[in-house]
Amino acid sequence: MPTPSMEDYLERIYLLIEDKGYARVSDIAEALDVHPSSVTKMVQKLDQTEYVIYEKYRGFVLTPKGKKVGKRLVYRHDLLEEFMRIIGVSNENIYQDVEGIEHHLSWDAIDRIGDLVQYFEEDKNRVEILRKVQKKNETENNKIN
């Protein structure tokens, strides 16, 4: 299994390739806000673990294994964002919250969150009921404070 840091890279590389057809060291460095030398180091590590094929001076591509894992990591990120939206987390917090938890949940937990997202999406009334609970809590908190 890739480490959390490898996961961040694989996720980003997958998105860049999906978006532009390729991922350069400089694009990854910019997207992850890290030094290009860190990217080169990580890409070498991802090459050794067979997630990418690195060709010096020519860039790199994802292996089938790298593609499969990258796709799963992007799915996980998007699912968690959707989950955050449904439970009513403010938009401005969603991205950072997902970045903070995504590497630390089991795939079991991810799949159960997937069930819950589906549960809410299958019947929007369920979201409305949740919002009512939240409104009630908000009103009560306002009374206390």
Binding-site residue numbers for Mn(2+) are 8, 11, 77, 99, 102-103
Give dist(CA 97, CA 95) in Å, integer. 5
Tell the smallest beta-carbon distance from residue 59 to Mn ion (Å).
Answer: 22
Residue type, 54: Y
Tell the smallest beta-carbon distance from residue 84 to Mn ion (Å).
Answer: 12
Q: How many amino acids of this chain bind Mn ion (CB under 5 A)?
A: 1
Contact 11, 70 (CB under 8 A): yes
User: By C-beta, is 96 or 125 nearer to Mn ion?
Assistant: 96
Bridge partners (DSSP) of residue 55 are: 59
User: By C-beta, is 109 or 133 nearer to Mn ion?
Assistant: 109
Tell the smallest beta-carbon distance from residue 3 to Mn ion (Å).
Answer: 14
Task: Give which of 1, 53, 59, 72 is closest to 28, Cα–Cα.
Answer: 59
Give dist(CA 131, CA 97) in Å, integer. 20
H helices present in the chain, as ranges: 4-20, 25-32, 36-48, 64-86, 91-101, 107-122, 124-144
Binding residues: 8, 11, 77, 99, 102-103
Site string for Mn ion, 62-81 (x = CB under 5 A): ---------------x----
Residue with tokens 């057809």: 21
Tell the smallest beta-carbon distance from residue 38 to Mn ion (Å).
Answer: 17
Q: Looking at residues 116 to 135 of the shown chain, list those that interact with Mn ion (rule: CB under 5 A).
A: none
User: By C-beta, is 101 or 133 nearer to Mn ion?
Assistant: 101
User: By C-beta, is 67 or 77 nearer to Mn ion?
Assistant: 77
Residues that bind Mn ion (CB under 5 A): 77
